[in-house]
Amino acid sequence: MPEIPESFHADVHGDTVIDADQLVRIISLHRGFLYQHLYAAACLLRFKTAGMHRLLVERDEDLEAVLPGRHLYLQVKTRSRPLQWGDVSGAVDGFAAVRARHTEGKRSGQPQLVIVANMPPGPQLAAKMEAADWPGDVTVLTPQAAPPQEWLPPAWSDLEEGIAWCTHEAAQVPFSSLAPLTLVWKLAARVVYACTGHGDQAFTADTVEDLHEQFVKELQTFPVLAHDYLPQADEPALLTDDRVRLITGFSGAGKTAWAAHAAQHCPEPLTYFDTAALTADAVAGGLARELAARHLNTDQRTGLPHASGIDLLRAVHHQLDGTSVAVVLDNVHRLSATELKQITEAMPTARLVLLGQPRPDQTTLTAHLGITAESLNGWNADRVAQVLADAGAPADAATVVRLITLTGGLPFYVRNAALLAQNHYAHDTARMCQALTDRQHTAPTAQDLILEETFEGLAPQAQTTASLLALAEIPLAEDELNRLAQDAGLGPKDCARGLRTLAGLGVVQRLGDSLTTLHDATRALATDYIPQHADTQHQLDLTLSDILHDSLTSGSAEPRRLVRWARLLARTEQTDQLLPLASHDYFFDQSFAVDLKPTLQMVADDHAARPIDRFDALNALATLALDAGDSAAHKQLTGELTVLADTHHEDWEIRETVVLAGHQMHQHAYDRDTKALNAAYLAARAALPKDSAARRILRYNQAKSLYQAEHYAQADTITLNLVETYMAHLGLEADDIVGASVEQVAARLSSADTDLDDCKRLADCLALRARCRRQLDQPFGLAALHALKFYQLAQAWRHFVTIGQDIVDDFVELGDLRQAMKLLDDALLPAARGQGLADLLLAVRAQRAVVLAHAGDFATALTEIDSLLNYHVPSRQAQEINNQKHLIEQLARLERPGPG
């Protein structure tokens, strides 16, 4: 459950070396290579130009460059503010001892200290540097100053500038087959490796030349990436402390591309070996010859015994004793578990990364090797949105999520789907997704072609089991799956056997709480195997509906289950259960509500249906129109409700009176007719009991309508009275809420028989009062924060996020950026993600980008806002995101004015 921060004005200390959010961004985007590592790589790129003898990388990331007659001591510092004397005093004072050692002849060469910094000196330090007593052999190199020696790389303002400089410099290195940026990353990775104390910490002319040749040989063997690489979600490191690792995934999951890209950032020597074109017997011998060619000299190769296969691999490994060896072995699913075990045992000190597709004997293999299989997670929503936008088929957030569900986010499948939308569906990704879901696409997909072979080879019980999990769409417990399988003629033993087969092939995934689900990439194809008889399909839908209803009423309020149940009610036309659901406030907070409009419209148009059912359907449709701001549709539906009420007024009770009056008042607000609005309120109130819940609801609808009609003062007066009424009704005092956590408020309410709907209504009143006061430019105290708490208590997550965004704006206006970010990261983002509020998630992320910019992290803010522009959103939201981008750019310009 998201948390609301209770400390609103915590101290913010801005004297860290680099902003925490910026540090996270750099580590994630640049594999942990910080400014210092990149500067060391820049020195290596200038090694030959400088005529350098040696570059020493210390564990504290300081550098020593030994040149003819000179000895440079380089200290690299990054700051988020101008450089102060305190930042450099330790280095300047400590250099006296270093200078003395050179004077005494204990070290050769003329010493010089160069402090490299990304920020200019502050006034105090600048004055010291200009003073006569400033040491002549100490230089502070900043982006505004020229290097003291021509070969020395300049100081850069930020990491991005450094990457650009290094990439340009790397282009001068005479290895045309090695991309400049790749060379930069490999050198930076080797520096990181040296800083940790691994390997040799001193680089000489020979070792630098050897490094270039080694990088070329390593990366030549990896397959060339067909596209610019887009990282998958939470990618693992290529090499870890584990000696043997197994990375599995369907063909198209991007395993080889991941390894090839990660190799560009890996500091250790790597050997890539593909088993695809070899027989199992030839793999060990082929790998032995590849390792010998890569790592052994002529004498060592000549001394190898006349052997083949595993014996030759053992002999090569023996010769490699003391050499760090890492091997990426691709397409290992072609080898048996026994053969792979022999290879790993023949190389007991080498690190092996095994890449392959899921296999029936995978459990046996991992048990033999004593490891747990890993997998790549596919692209996240931003990556998928980027690929679709690049293909000219941009999609909204909900469609992007839907495509991930259809493809598992597997890179090859997503790229293929993007081309399909572009070439066969007139750039309409949503229409393509619907066709794939309905299995009515006419152009074959790479996904189908790849996975059909797997499904066609399954036993019938495994095919049926997969199809039932596809039908469910959400993870099922074992007893739930067996209950569904019974309608498909499948007993518990056959179902269990099918699950074991599917698990071995990676088709199903085991989740926590003993739940099982299909791998998303297989879901669409698995629906082809659902029993085709119409009666059986209908019965399966009904049984699944009952399963979900039982779990929801027993306390499992998992959002996806509610979504699936509501859609099943519509598909099976179980309007007796759908209409009560559509009459509840909670229904209209759900993203799926609008998808049920056709079923609701069907009931509303059915004059043979019960009047009360038509009334509930019209009410739901009118509320959806109101929420969408469709005044014309709302007016028409309110008119139909009024006619229905006039015709069947004898059937109406209190609820119907309140509902109809609410819509009528909102319609009068559209027309700015406050006289008719208040008349509708008074007419309905006369029919309601005094001090009843119905009167409180009616009164709130009056206030909301008055707000809509821009009568803010009158609406404010009503909401204040309602807040006091609801607080008394719930048995709460102001002191019970101020400074209390949500859990503490819940504990105070637990003793009474509290209706959570009343918590939601109190939150509505508090939120409306805060908005009225904003419009009146008057203080509203803690009303918005208290609304946030009660929305959380009522689990009204859409309202929770919306009012939370208002509070973030308030924090920004107060200058409390720390609390603004805390509320976004700890409460609003988790709520939007966890509840599947895709539309609000984009808005919250855009708001977070603006807060980052206010905090000075412009690079992260622009990266985030640019990723959001890949989504297809309504024109109003697109304009808002563009405005937020312009604001971020403006803040960046104010922070960093140009020269002059």
CA distance 287 to 880: 56
Quick one: tokens of 651? 């059937």
Confidence of residue 796 (pLDDT cuts 50, 70, 90): very high
| Per-residue model confidence as pLDDT tens digits over 540-587 | 999 999 999 888 888 665 778 888 888 888 888 888 888 888 888 878
Give me the residue label for tokens 């059912």.
613
Give me the residue label for tokens 């105070």.
748
Q: Which of 684, 779, 787, 798 is nearest to 727 (CA)?
A: 787
β partners of residue 116: 76, 141
Query: To which H or E segment does residue 32 belong?
Result: none
**178 versus 740: which is more confidently predicted?**
740
CA distance 312 to 417: 45
Confidence of residue 524 (pLDDT cuts 50, 70, 90): confident
| Per-residue model confidence as pLDDT tens digits over 669-710 | 999 999 999 999 999 999 999 989 999 999 999 999 999 999
Tell me whether strands 138-141 and 110-117 are parallel, antiparallel or unpaired: parallel
Give me the residue label for tokens 């939007």.
832
Q: Please report, in angstroms and rounded to a whole number, the separation of the first and last CA atoms in the chain.
A: 51
DSSP string, 507-532: SEEEEGGGEEEE-HHHHHHHGGGS--
Statement: 393-555 belongs to CATH 1.10.10? yes
CA distance 765 to 724: 10
Per-residue pLDDT, averaged over 270-294, amounts to 83
Per-residue pLDDT, averaged over 356-382, amounts to 88
**Max mean pLDDT range (229-238, 242-251, 419-428, 702-711):** 702-711
Instruction: Lowest mean pLDDT of 71-80, 99-108, 270-279, 661-670, name the range.
Output: 270-279
Strand arrangement of the beta sheet that strand 508-511 belongs to: 476-477, 515-518, 508-511
Per-residue pLDDT, averaged over 745-763, amounts to 83
CA distance 173 to 219: 16
Q: What is the pLDDT of residue 176?
A: 46
Quick one: tokens of 792? 């959380």
Contact, 495 vs 461, CB < 8 A? yes
Quick one: tokens of 790? 């009660």
Instruction: Lowest mean pLDDT of 42-46, 381-385, 512-516, 803-807, name the range.
Output: 512-516
Number of neighbouring beta carbons within 10 Å of residue 225: 12
Confidence of residue 467 (pLDDT cuts 50, 70, 90): very high
CA distance 582 to 615: 11
SS3 612: helix
Q: Is the pLDDT of residue 329 over 90?
A: yes
**32 versus 876: which is more confidently predicted?**
876
| Per-residue model confidence as pLDDT tens digits over 755-768 | 788 999 999 999 99
Q: What is the pLDDT of residue 20?
A: 38
Q: Which of 380, 397, 229, 226 is nearest to 870 (CA)?
A: 397
Distance of CA 540 to the CA centre of its chain: 34
Per-residue pLDDT, averaged over 784-804, amounts to 94
Contact, 204 vs 218, CB < 8 A? no
CA distance 301 to 120: 56
Query: To which H or E segment does residue 825 belong?
Result: none
pTM equals: 0.74
Confidence of residue 436 (pLDDT cuts 50, 70, 90): confident
Q: Which of 226, 249, 592 is nearest to 409 (CA)?
A: 249
Give the rounded percent of residues in the chain with a pLDDT score beyond 90.
46
Q: What is the pLDDT of residue 33?
A: 52
Confidence of residue 28 (pLDDT cuts 50, 70, 90): very low
CA distance 627 to 630: 8
- The beta-strand segments (E) located in 143-205 are 202-204
Give me the residue label for tokens 């002529």.
298
Q: What is the pLDDT of residue 2?
A: 44
Q: Is the pLDDT of residue 791 over 50?
A: yes
Q: Which of 507, 418, 401 is nearest to 456 (CA)?
A: 507
Q: What is the pLDDT of residue 57?
A: 85
Distance of CA 206 to the CA centre of its chain: 44
Query: How wide is the angle at C-alpha 66 spanned by C-alphas 64 and 68, nearest 5°?
Result: 160
Query: To which H or E segment does residue 247 belong?
Result: strand 244-248
Residue 21 one-letter amino acid: D
DSSP string, 827-880: IIHHHHHHTT-HHHHHHHHHHHHHHHHHTT-HHHHHHHHHHHTTS---HHHHHH
Q: What is the pLDDT of residue 196?
A: 66
Look at phi and psi of residue 766 and say left if phi exceeds 0, alpha if psi is from -120 to 50, else beta: alpha
Fold type of domain 1-16+795-900: 1.25.40
Per-residue pLDDT, averaged over 771-799, amounts to 94
Q: What's the chain's length in residues?
A: 900
Query: Hey, what's the torsion of the CAs at 123, 124, 129, 131, to 10 degrees?
Result: 110
Fold type of domain 244-375: Rossmann fold (3.40.50)
Q: What is the pLDDT of residue 540?
A: 92
Mean pLDDT (the chain, rounded)? 86
Per-residue pLDDT, averaged over 47-62, amounts to 81
Q: Is the pLDDT of residue 752 over 90?
A: no
| Per-residue model confidence as pLDDT tens digits over 387-428 | 999 999 999 999 999 999 889 899 989 998 998 899 889 999
CA distance 526 to 672: 54
Q: Is the pLDDT of residue 787 over 60?
A: yes
CA distance 109 to 306: 53
Per-residue pLDDT, averaged over 814-823, amounts to 95
Query: How wide is the angle at C-alpha 772 spanned by C-alphas 769 and 773, nearest 5°?
Result: 85
Per-residue pLDDT, averaged over 845-850, amounts to 97
Going from N- to C-terminal start, the domains of the chain cover: 1-16+795-900, 31-203, 244-375, 393-555
CA distance 304 to 651: 97
CA distance 706 to 715: 6
Q: Is the pLDDT of residue 163 over 60?
A: yes
Query: To which H or E segment does residue 437 belong?
Result: helix 429-438
Contact, 246 vs 371, CB < 8 A? yes
Q: What is the pLDDT of residue 56?
A: 87
CA distance 127 to 442: 75
Q: What is the pLDDT of residue 354?
A: 95
SS3 500: helix
**Max mean pLDDT range (286-290, 331-335, 723-727):** 723-727
Q: Is the pLDDT of residue 747 over 90?
A: no
Per-residue pLDDT, averaged over 113-133, amounts to 92
β partners of residue 140: 115
Instruction: Lowest mean pLDDT of 105-114, 257-266, 490-499, 664-673, name the range.
Output: 257-266
Contact, 76 vs 153, CB < 8 A? no
Query: To which H or E segment does residue 111 belong?
Result: strand 110-117
CA distance 459 to 504: 13
Q: Is the pLDDT of residue 753 over 70?
A: no
Q: What is the pLDDT of residue 19?
A: 37
Per-residue pLDDT, averaged over 216-220, amounts to 56
Q: What is the pLDDT of residue 18?
A: 33
Quick one: tokens of 744? 């503490």
Number of neighbouring beta carbons within 10 Å of residue 87: 21
Q: Which of 570, 595, 585 is nearest to 619 (CA)?
A: 585
Q: Is the pLDDT of residue 605 over 60?
A: yes
**29 versus 620: which is more confidently predicted?**
620
Tell me whether strands 326-330 and 54-57 are parallel, antiparallel or unpaired: unpaired
Confidence of residue 9 (pLDDT cuts 50, 70, 90): very low
Instruction: Lowest mean pLDDT of 53-67, 471-485, 826-840, 844-858, name the range.
Output: 53-67
Instruction: Lowest mean pLDDT of 56-60, 292-296, 447-451, 457-461, name the range.
Output: 56-60
Instruction: Lowest mean pLDDT of 107-111, 398-402, 530-534, 792-796, name the range.
Output: 530-534
Q: What is the pLDDT of residue 897?
A: 44
Half-sphere exposure of residue 824: CA atoms within 13 angstroms, side-chain side: 26
Number of neighbouring beta carbons within 10 Å of residue 317: 18
- The beta-strand segments (E) located in 285-399 are 326-330, 351-356, 374-375
Number of neighbouring beta carbons within 10 Å of residue 730: 19
Quick one: tokens of 718? 């009503």
For domain 31-203, give the CATH number. Answer: 3.40.1350
Give me the residue label for tokens 């998808």.
595
Tell me whether strands 515-518 and 476-477 are parallel, antiparallel or unpaired: antiparallel
Quick one: tokens of 694? 């119905």
Strand arrangement of the beta sheet that strand 326-330 belongs to: 270-274, 326-330, 351-356, 244-248, 374-375
**Max mean pLDDT range (146-150, 438-442, 582-586):** 146-150
Q: Which of 606, 599, 565 is nearest to 579 (CA)?
A: 599
Contact, 60 vs 73, CB < 8 A? no
CA distance 854 to 116: 27
Instruction: Lowest mean pLDDT of 208-212, 329-333, 613-617, name the range.
Output: 208-212
Per-residue pLDDT, averaged over 303-315, amounts to 84
SS3 per residue for 178-194: CCHHHHHHHHHHHHHHH
Q: Is the pLDDT of residue 21 over 60?
A: no
Buried/exposed code over 530-554 (b: 16+ C-beta within 10 A; e: otherwise): bbeeeeeeeebbebbbebbbebeee
Contact, 698 vs 681, CB < 8 A? yes
